[in-house]
A and B are shown apart, each in its own frame.
Chain A
């Protein structure tokens, strides 16, 4: 029981920033648009900030492109192989147990 209580406290703590966010920002907090927006940058600041994001994005795109393509085809091929494996296992089990009856 104490484990459930500790877990409950950790769970609530973990989502508390979101709950506070719901209560203070957005319709519930009476703020549809936060006062933080791009307008507080000077044009010069804005361009450096965007250039940085652009560099990060180009780099991230290159990594994700490779990871997601390998991941997608790998999981697809493994699924087909695993299906085949389960089919083989089921047929062996049928031979041993005569239709699953005992």
Chain B
């Protein structure tokens, strides 16, 4: 069976470090914001001293990864060009992505016959590639200021709350981001239960034919033993649960808005909010476990 080399070891390492530290940051950060609903997370981990330390250590890992891989990918791009990637930073490229998004949605509804012909990264992936570092950067800057507020906030210590509210707003948006990303890339038919591409770096050619047809001629090809894939319908249930939690969490955002944000703490008691926020944390814990599963499976295969 032909597989295509999709992600370099550096890309896989970056994904591993950023996703793992990002999820641990959410698991240890959200219970501060939603302490009425998520107090048990802090208690279970051994108290706020422990979760605050984990949050800061993961923050350090995230900050380092951002600077390290950002520099590395930039140097790679300058010295080796864009190789098999279609990513360019021109206005035309981004306009094309907008058109691709519209065409993709029309295709989903059966209103046009053809999907957009995508290169290595389609419009969703480019949106991911651009937004993850941006959001992480905002979190690193606001997080670092909250960690060491002085001497920067000397003239006005109250500004702490300005950075805090930005930190929390991006964190809440990150919940939706992680859910969308994981649900689409791991729980969809063709991928469920786990899409090994980001761990092994390889994806089957027949899959790429449907998703990134314009990439195939320039992609590096490898022959590997045939692996049979069948989609288990339980994937639909898992997908529906993930989407359901997302929908309920969107309702939490609606409730927060109704309360005028109030520093992003939810003041009213709401069963739906309780289910949503606890669902979010439980799903993140499952993702952390799956991340270790994926990386160990990929490593044991590459040794074999």
Contact = CB atoms under 8 A, between A and B. Distances in A.
Given A7-B69, A11-B68, A68-B169, A83 B183 contact: yes
Contacts of B72: 3-4, 7
Interface in A47-62: 49-50, 52-53, 56-57, 60-61
A84 B108 contact: yes
B64 interface: yes
Binding site of B, secondary structure by majority: helix, strand, loop or mixed?
helix
B279 interface: no
Interface stretch (B25-33, B92-100, B155-163, B287-295): B155-163
A28 interface: no
Interface residues of B, number: 74
Interface string A71-102: 11101101111111111111111000101111
B176 A76 contact: yes
Contacts of B157: 36-38, 49
A13 B68 CA distance: 10
Contacts of A81: 105, 108
Q: Size band of the A side of the interface?
A: 35 or more
Given A3-B79, A7-B75, A57-B162, A18 B144 contact: yes
B63 A15 contact: yes
Contacts of A73: 250, 253
A90 B209 CA distance: 11
B184 to A, nearest CB: 5
A interface secondary structure, majority: helix
A93 B210 contact: yes
Given A18-B148, A53-B156, A82-B184, A3 B165 contact: no
B124 A92 contact: no
A72 B250 contact: yes
Interface string A1-32: 00110111011111101100100010000000
B206 A68 contact: no
B228 A101 contact: yes
Contacts of A6: 71, 75
Nearest to A40: B154
B261 A65 contact: yes
Contact of B249 (A15, A72, A102): A72
Interface string B61-74: 00111111111100
A36 B154 contact: yes
A36 B176 CA distance: 37
B277 to A, nearest CB: 13
A100 B63 contact: no
B246 interface: yes
B166 interface: yes
A14 B243 contact: no
Contact of B71 (A11, A65, A67, A75): A11
15 contacts: A3-B72, A4-B72, A6-B75, A14-B67, A18-B60, A18-B144, A52-B158, A60-B162, A68-B173, A72-B253, A73-B250, A79-B184, A84-B108, A90-B231, A93-B190
Shortest 5 CB-CB contacts between residues of A and residues of B: A11-B68, A14-B67, A53-B158, A86-B188, A90-B189
Given A7-B75, A12-B64, A93-B190, 16 more contacts: A10-B70, A14-B64, A49-B156, A60-B162, A60-B166, A61-B165, A68-B256, A71-B176, A75-B177, A76-B247, A79-B180, A79-B246, A82-B188, A90-B190, A99-B230, A102-B226
